[in-house]
Structure 1
Amino acid sequence: MTDTPAWLHDGCRRLLTGEPSADHQAAATALGARAGAESLTVTDIVEAFLHAAEAGWDLVPTSDAHDRGGLLLRSLRRLTVAAVDGYHQAEHDEVSRSEHDRDTFIDDLLAAHPDPGRLAARAQRYGVRLSGQHTVVVARAPGLGHPAAHAIDDALAARFGAANTLTSLREQELVCIVAGGLRGVPAELARHLLHHLGAGRWQIAVGRTHRGLPGLATSLDEARNALDLADRLGFTTPVLQAADLLVFPVLLRDRDAITDLVTTVLGPLTGARGGAEPLLETLAVLFEQQGNHTAAARVLHVSVRAVTYRLDRIRALTGYHPGEPTQRFTLHTAVLGARLLGWPEPGT
């Protein structure tokens, strides 16, 4: 008991006098909260109360042992429970404050125009080098709650080191800041999302690695833009690399040119029975399956003969066929451009 502070022993002795009132219980709750704030343990609190009760019991006359002893035991039970509740509530409040501070720090890191001066002191606390290289990984995971997000954050920190990953749930996006060129984080994040949400309910994009505070915002934008593009293009790959999608912003910079390509190459498909969409979907799936007719048929839920028939119709209408090496790139680019433009409009 020598390591337990005197204020805890004195407080327990003062509280264990008389019938425990509401004021006594409030004081016990505050006592437990202070013990938690000073990094004591629940055992320290319980032992201090028991020590005080033992000392009080020795002062109870034998003739009053039943009445005064019973009162002492009632006080011990109620006040110990109140103190332990105060301890756990303070512990919960501290965890909440720490999580809020961490989330706020991540938000400030990823702001469009962060203030290095305000971030410097907090960055040391989290082991972040503001001038270092970082990669931002973004997971869109509707339905992911804060408990699961915190579990994933803890798991990533345990696997890669607390100073190497910072993870925060921002609306429906799980944002992870990764130090340097550390590999393996996206795959590990995918594994945990699969565990918490199941397959097909999330998608991850990895921004490029950049240096310094401005690089964090850039990497975040790249990851988000990659997810936006994947949604527009119908890409279902679980983990996307922003670097692999750099061609699409280039296409969109010259909207007139890509529109001309789409209407020139694919425009004749609108004259097909059933419209252009089924044939366009066939081309998109075929390219995703690297030209494998059997795999494309499986994804489309049709026969291989139906895929072949559709490709023949595409060739008859447009003059282009994905089986021709010199025409494959033009067709593929036109199909991707159509997805970016939302062509054809519904009903056409």
Structure 2
Amino acid sequence: MTGGGRRTGRGPAAGSERDACLAAIARAASADAGGVPVDLLGDYLWLLAEAAVTGRRPRRAELDAVGVLGRRAAEQGVSAGRAVRLYLSAARRLWQQLPQLTSSTDSEVVRASAEAVLHVVDSAVATLAEGYAVARRELVRREETLRRELVDDLLRGDSDLGGLVERAEPFGLDLARVHQVALAAPRRRLPDTDAAISALEGVIFDRLGDRDVLVATKEGLLVVIAPADAVAPDRGVRGRESSGDLGRLMHAELDRLPRGGPWQVAVGRPHPGLYGIARSYEEAREALMTAQRLNADTPVIDARDLLVYRVLLRDQPAIVDLVQAALSPLRHARGGAQPLLDTLDAYFAAGGVATDAARRLHVSVRTVTYRLDRIRTLSGYDPNDPRDRFTLQTAVYGARALDWPRQPLPGPAS
């Protein structure tokens, strides 16, 4: 079916003159709609012409054919607005080319023809839009499935490289670039993740563009894969780059949602290539799990900041021995070990300045110095001795990773 197709014995003119007239109208309407293919008109012009002359209304099968054209428009990537404009422009231009109407002095004839034409336009455009909507829903569902499968394979990192490159191309993902992965975990279960995904897509695409960015879900987490060079790095302590805008951007948007909060976002380090995506994902996932294990309520977690815990937890027997040797004597202090551990943590974070540590703990400087003395007496390690400080600080990290003293130490050493 084409906009200038031939149907012998039908239409306002006959033969080649009629065909040429309809073909010219189809081409003009296509230009009006920004170059939409004329074959999306199908037999629509014939239906209009016949309605204008005879008053005949379209049959169900003819309207079903228009619905098929609406589906085809969606599959070809033609916008709904341009498809509708094609049909409206064709109707307007055809009306102007009907000599028996433009020269008629009988208002009743013109009115009847106009009513018949408008009925065809109304029915055809509605059917076109319905077919378009059905196809778009199917395309979206298909795209969501393909995107989910692509994200799963990218994060797993063990799929065929050539096949992944081909599958990633329609999503605008350049696997040669350096990417980083961010994960967002809701504290309360989301009944529907569509709203969260839509919110993230809106703000991230607006900031980073929709090329080379993927937003999806995996195992109850929201996943964002983004090019590292599109995210402005943040200069943290001592000028070191942190996770930058991506984590804060995600958290700020998710925090506005009525459900799911409070959110916690973990961002993996940037890595190049296909396997860099899987590596960044593993870092983000491990950072999220470690933060939850440490009962850390930090809203945005940089995997870089938790590397020391990865080292510690990979040799758990050794860190258990260290905590047992360096910190377990603190349990004999009045009030238990926890206040002394908190003091060590604040003291080291303050660079060994008791005044700053007291401010962090909301206690007096005298309380801090007293606790440091108790630590030295009970453990035999001096927090002010550079040789002992590293041992104590590593032991404090290990205690946090093991959630000690709230939880007993694993193994026979507990």
Q: Deviations over 1:196-216 (max 9, x none)?
A: 134973333223525x54443
Residue aligned with 1:263, SS? helix
* Shift in alpha-carbon separation, 1:89–1:318, aligned structure 2, 3 A: same
Q: Is residue 11 from structure 1 mapped to residue 43 from structure 2 by the alignment?
A: yes
Q: Which residue of 2 aligns with 1:35?
A: 73
* Shift in alpha-carbon separation, 1:31–1:337, aligned structure 2, 3 A: same
Q: How does 1:139-288 map to 2 (within 5 A)?
A: 139-142=183-186, 145-155=196-206, 157-158=208-209, 162-163=211-212, 165-170=213-218, 171-178=220-227, 184=232, 186-198=243-255, 201-207=263-269, 209-210=271-272, 212-234=273-295, 236=298, 238-242=300-304, 245-288=306-349
Deviates further, 329-338 or 297-306: 297-306
Q: Which residue of 1 aligns with 2:15?
A: none
Q: Which residue of 2 aligns with 1:327?
A: 388
Identity percentage over the alignment? 36
* Cα displacement (A) at 1:234: 4.7
* Shift in alpha-carbon separation, 1:290–1:97, aligned structure 2, 3 A: farther
* Cα displacement (A) at 1:128: 5.2
Q: Which residue of 2 aligns with 1:136?
A: 180
* Cα displacement (A) at 1:259: 1.2
Q: Which residue of 1 aligns with 2:115?
A: 70
- What TM-score does the superposition give when structure 2 sets the normalisation length? 0.67
In structure 2, distance between residues paired with 1:108 and 1:216: 10
Residue aligned with 1:82, SS? helix
In the alignment, structure 1 segments of 5+ residues that lack a partner are: none
1:254 maps to amino acid: D
Q: Give the root-mean-square deviation of aligned CA atoms.
A: 3.8
Q: Deviations over 1:175-217 (max 9, x none)?
A: 31536x776364231342243134973333223525x544432
* Shift in alpha-carbon separation, 1:183–1:58, aligned structure 2, 3 A: same
* Cα displacement (A) at 1:44: 1.6
* Cα displacement (A) at 1:337: 0.8
In structure 2, distance between residues paired with 1:299 and 1:49: 75
The number of equivalent residue pairs is 341
Residue aligned with 2:302, SS? strand
Residue aligned with 1:138, SS? strand
In structure 1, distance between residues paired with 2:287 and 2:125: 55
In structure 1, distance between residues paired with 2:318 and 2:41: 81
Is the contact between residue 12 and residue 52 of structure 1 (CA under 8 Å) also seen in structure 2?
no
Is the contact between residue 32 and residue 45 of structure 1 (CA under 8 Å) also seen in structure 2?
no
1:48 pairs, out of 80, 87, 90, with 90
In structure 1, distance between residues paired with 2:68 and 2:334: 77
* Shift in alpha-carbon separation, 1:51–1:99, aligned structure 2, 3 A: farther
In structure 2, distance between residues paired with 1:272 and 1:24: 89
Is the contact between residue 203 and residue 253 of structure 2 (CA under 8 Å) also seen in structure 1?
no
Deviates further, 328-337 or 45-54: 45-54
In structure 2, distance between residues paired with 1:326 and 1:220: 37
- What TM-score does the superposition give when structure 1 sets the normalisation length? 0.77
